Amino acid sequence: MEPSLEYDEINYNDLKHRVKMLAQKIVEDIPEGEIPLMVCVLKGAFVFFADLTRDMGDVMIETEFMSVSSYGDEQTSSGVVEITQDIGVNIAGRHVILVEDIVDTGLTLNYLRDILLRREPASLRICVLLDKVAAREVEVPIDYIGFEIENVFVVGYGLDYAGHYRNHPWISVLKESAYKDTESE
């Protein structure tokens, strides 16, 4: 294991299995005859999104991507979110499924949810791979949750620390020593 990683939080097989289950549930919930719009929140959700959508089989979906950046430091988000790349289509009347890698304080998702609901989709569902329940500051209704995790710093499977580890194939916990030096700077 990479020396900055403490232990594996969720291994590759458990991830794959759970993502498949989420995909099945999402497919079951698609209203008859509708083509849902799956929206990936970059950057962290890109790996999860790629697996999730492929696990949906031959069901017709459309995909969109949005980029957000939250003002805050590496460990905490401030809740002030800037959309740096918006969805390219009108979502009014569409069945939208927003896909995120992690919900921590809930500030980012809460903001995104408000913004998207104002655009009057037919429905808005939220799918999150990881739920850090203990860190929640604002409640956000989440329809599909992969795993609840402890309040630990996780990386891999799309999640980063300072831009690194997104390509680590599963979810691992970062050693405190890897980030606590920069905290005091």
How far apart are CB 160 and ligand PRP at their closest, in Å? 5
Residues 14-73 that bind ligand PRP (CB under 6 A): 41, 43-44, 70
When the beta carbons of 41 and 96 are compared against ligand PRP, the nearer one is 41
Cα–Cα distance for residue pair 7/111, rounded to 1 Å: 32
Among residues 22, 102, 124, 178, the one that binds ligand PRP under rule CB under 6 A: 102
- Which ranges of 55-175 would DSSP assign to H, the alpha helix? 107-117
Task: Select the residue whose beta carbon is closest to ligand PRP and give its number.
Answer: 44
Contact between 106 and ligand PRP per CB under 6 A: yes
Catalytic residues: 104
Among residues 23, 97, 103, 154, the one that binds ligand PRP under rule CB under 6 A: 103
CB distance 98 to 127 below 8 Å:
yes
Q: What angle do CA 180, 169, 40 make, to 5 degrees?
A: 90
Which positions touch ligand PRP (CB under 6 A)?
Answer: 41, 43-44, 70, 77, 100-109, 160
